[in-house]
């Protein structure tokens, strides 16, 4: 039965479905973690897209695997991240877990709250504002790569993929870079709040602990910054709070933590996965060396081919039909970004890593009103990091047999030791 890695044999079907050899959800129970899919989720996703593109799971959440269906939910249908009465949807962005109200981060709010929160910080993330940070990014990349090239080796995660985005988001927000070690751990653990409904008591306690540490840390930082406001992002948000009713103290705290968390672990994953693919496909690296300008399309291909975030979620605000099946109003729907990005109906030869692919309208950043606010920042950082890594080497030699995966909620390698030959 299994042509997929991560076969359903590892997920026994419930005894309650004897008449049907495979339930429509293919035995892939969303309550169970799937570490087996980290290595290469593509075969499994191709299978789900072809045999169960619209499936209802045993806990009432529906999942969509086709690009067109995901786009329809993100851009066309009435949908939000909460139910129509404003309550959090099932397993929707930390809805049913530690934060009873469903969380105050912009990604956990529907308009008009979402619009207000996003607008407060959106100026800092426009393409123009982000270009301002490119020279600084180049400087950091150079500081990280120069000693690695001299040594002839680089542990890509610890030596490039992690320090670059964390340093930059700290500088943008006005968070002391020397505290990075502290909140790298807290955010990696705390971000699992997004799947709080599926965690054991012990795991929930761990998430709670990490979030309390983050809250204490940011409360102290905000209190200190109030006396010396600058033009960093934290100061912009503090001013909005002090100037009246635009941002409550709780919202200020949550947006600060949320931006920091959203701002680096994802990009760490993208840079790491991208470096892994350039090492795995030396022809792509050679092509980029010959055409340095292709870095822009190359980064889009990294996002499509192996983006760090597998799915996003919405709650339908009206019943909708997909493939002859009606998903009821108020249902939580999981949209597979990974599967959409390998959908042959949209991407020719989808399992090929093609750094000049154009057009490439992948869904790695989601879509609609919640489309990733940090997309330009993530792109710019990755262009600088991978562009320099490839241009300044003539060989990237993986020194691992299998990738080890980190504890992140996202797809982030734990370490990627590589040998480098300087160009
Ligand atoms: C490779 C890096 C990144 C990826 C793949 C990524 C992906 C995503 C995805 C899939 C969403 C949900 C979109 C939706 O549901 O439609 C999202 C939202 C968001 N991302 Fe990113 N992200 C990345 C980097 C960043 C960075 C660097 C920041 C900067 C702070 C950031 C800030 C945000 C914020 C604030 C939201 C919520 C936006 C809203 O609700 O309006 N992200 N991101």
The Å distance, Cα 378 to ligand 1 centre, comes to 9
Measure the CA dihedral 407/413/418/423, to 10°: -130
The Å distance, Cα 97 to ligand 1 centre, comes to 21
Coil, helix or strand at residue 327: strand
SS3 helix, strand, coil % of the chain, rounded to 5? Answer: 50, 10, 35
The C-alpha atoms of residue 139 and residue 145 are separated, in whole angstroms, by 10
- Take atom 40 of ligand 1 and give the residue whose Cα is closest: 107
Whose CA is closest to 267, among 110, 388, 411? 411
What is the mean predicted confidence (pLDDT) over 253-279? 94
Q: Which contiguous run of DSSP H or E holds residue 405? A: strand 404-405
Which atom belonging to ligand 1 lies closest to the Cα atom of 169?
A: 30
Taken in order 323, 328, 329, 333, the sign of the CA dihedral is negative
Sole residue written with tokens 């530690």: 98
The Å distance, Cα 131 to ligand 1 centre, comes to 18
- Take atom 39 of ligand 1 and give the residue whose Cα is closest: 370
Q: How distant, in Å, are the alpha carbons of 270, 297, 389 from that of 395? A: 20, 21, 10
User: What are the phi and psi torsion angles at 334 (to 5°)?
Assistant: -100, 130
> How would you list the strands of the sheet with 153-155, edge to edge?
153-155, 417-422, 393-398
206's tokens? 């761990």
The C-alpha atoms of residue 42 and residue 22 are separated, in whole angstroms, by 20
Residue 118 in this model has a pLDDT that exceeds 70: yes
Report pLDDT for 193.
85
Residue 214 in this model has a pLDDT that exceeds 70: yes
pTM: 0.93
Strand 417-422 versus strand 320-322 pairing type: unpaired
> How would you list the strands of the sheet with 332-336, edge to edge?
54-56, 62-64, 332-336, 311-316, 79-80
Report pLDDT for 10.
38
Query: Ligand 1, from 372, 382, 386: best to mutate by most atoms within 8 Å of Cβ?
Result: 372
User: What are the phi and psi torsion angles at 341 (to 5°)?
Assistant: -75, -10
Complete DSSP assignment for 1-31? ---SSS-GGGSPPPTT--SSSS-TTTT--TT
Residues having CB within 6 Å of any atom of ligand 1: 74, 106-107, 118, 259, 262-263, 266-267, 270, 307-309, 312, 364-368, 370-374, 377-378
- Take atom 1 of ligand 1 and give the residue whose Cα is closest: 267
Reported as a pLDDT band with limits 50, 70 and 90, residue 196 is confident
Domains recognised in the chain with CATH numbers: 8-422 (1.10.630.10)
Report pLDDT for 392.
98
The Å distance, Cα 375 to ligand 1 centre, comes to 7
Query: Ligand 1, from 266, 277, 333: best to mutate by most atoms within 8 Å of Cβ?
Result: 266
Neighbours of 297 (CB within 10 A): 18
350's tokens? 């989808």
Report pLDDT for 198.
85
The C-alpha atoms of residue 190 and residue 210 are separated, in whole angstroms, by 5
343's tokens? 């959908």
pLDDT tens digit sequence for 120-170 = 999 999 999 999 999 999 999 999 999 999 999 999 999 999 999 999 999
Coil, helix or strand at residue 325: strand
The C-alpha atoms of residue 103 and residue 80 are separated, in whole angstroms, by 14
Burial grade of 397 (CB within 10 A; 0-12, 13-18, 19 or more): middle
* % of the chain beyond a pLDDT of 70: 91
249's tokens? 């103290």
Q: How distant, in Å, are the alpha carbons of 49, 56, 91, 319, 358 from that of 61? A: 17, 6, 8, 14, 34
The C-alpha atoms of residue 69 and residue 211 are separated, in whole angstroms, by 34
Burial grade of 235 (CB within 10 A; 0-12, 13-18, 19 or more): middle
Strand 393-398 versus strand 54-56 pairing type: unpaired
pLDDT tens digit sequence for 80-92 = 999 999 998 876 5
Report pLDDT for 132.
97
The C-alpha atoms of residue 196 and residue 187 are separated, in whole angstroms, by 14
The Å distance, Cα 262 to ligand 1 centre, comes to 6
Burial grade of 147 (CB within 10 A; 0-12, 13-18, 19 or more): exposed
Report pLDDT for 369.
97
Report pLDDT for 199.
87
Q: Which contiguous run of DSSP H or E holds residue 312? A: strand 311-316
Report pLDDT for 388.
98
């Amino acid at each position: 039965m299994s042509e997929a890695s991560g076969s359903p044999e590892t997920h026994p079907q419930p005894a309650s479905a004897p008449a049907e050899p495979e339930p429509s959800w293919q035995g892939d129970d969303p309550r169970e973690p799937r570490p087996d899919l980290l290595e290469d989720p593509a075969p499994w996703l191709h299978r789900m897209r072809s045999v169960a593109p619209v499936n209802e799971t045993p806990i009432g959440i529906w999942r969509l695997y086709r690009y067109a269906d995901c786009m329809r939910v993100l851009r066309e249908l009435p949908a939000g991240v909460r139910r129509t009465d404003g309550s959090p949807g099932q397993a929707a962005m930390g809805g049913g877990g530690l934060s009873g109200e469903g969380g105050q981060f912009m990604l956990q709010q529907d308009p008009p709250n979402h619009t207000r929160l996003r607008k407060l910080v959106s100026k800092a993330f426009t393409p123009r504002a982000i270009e301002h940070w490119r020279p600084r990014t180049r400087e950091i990349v150079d500081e990280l790569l120069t000693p690695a090239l001299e040594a002839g080796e680089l542990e890509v995660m610890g030596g490039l993929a992690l320090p670059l985005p964390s340093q930059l988001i700290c500088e943008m927000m006005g968070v002391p870079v020397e505290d990075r070690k502290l909140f790298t751990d807290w955010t990696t653990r705390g971000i699992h709040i997004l799947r709080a409904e599926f965690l054991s008591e012990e795991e929930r306690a761990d998430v709670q602990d990490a979030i309390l540490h983050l809250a204490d840390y940011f409360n102290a930082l905000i209190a200190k910054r109030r006396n010396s406001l600058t033009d960093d992002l934290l100061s912009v948000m503090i001013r909005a709070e002090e100037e009246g009713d635009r941002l409550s103290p709780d919202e200020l705290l949550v947006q600060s933590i949320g931006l920091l968390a959203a701002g680096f672990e994802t990009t760490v994953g993208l840079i790491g996965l991208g470096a892994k693919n350039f090492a795995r496909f030396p022809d792509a690296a050679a092509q980029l060396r010959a055409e340095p300008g292709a870095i822009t399309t190359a980064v889009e291909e990294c996002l499509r081919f192996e983006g760090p975030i597998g799915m996003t979620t919405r709650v339908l605000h009206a019943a909708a039909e997909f493939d002859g099946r009606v998903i009821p109003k108020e249902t939580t729907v999981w949209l597979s970004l990974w599967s959409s990005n390998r959908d042959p109906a949209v991407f020719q030869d989808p399992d090929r890593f093609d750094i000049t692919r154009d057009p490439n309208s992948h869904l790695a950043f989601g879509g609609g009103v919640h489309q990733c606010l940090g997309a330009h920042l993530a792109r710019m950082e990755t262009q600088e990091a991978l562009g320099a890594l490839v241009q300044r080497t003539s060989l990237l030699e993986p020194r691992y047999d299998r990738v080890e995966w980190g504890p992140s909620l996202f797809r982030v390698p734990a370490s990627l030791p590589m040998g480098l030959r300087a160009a």
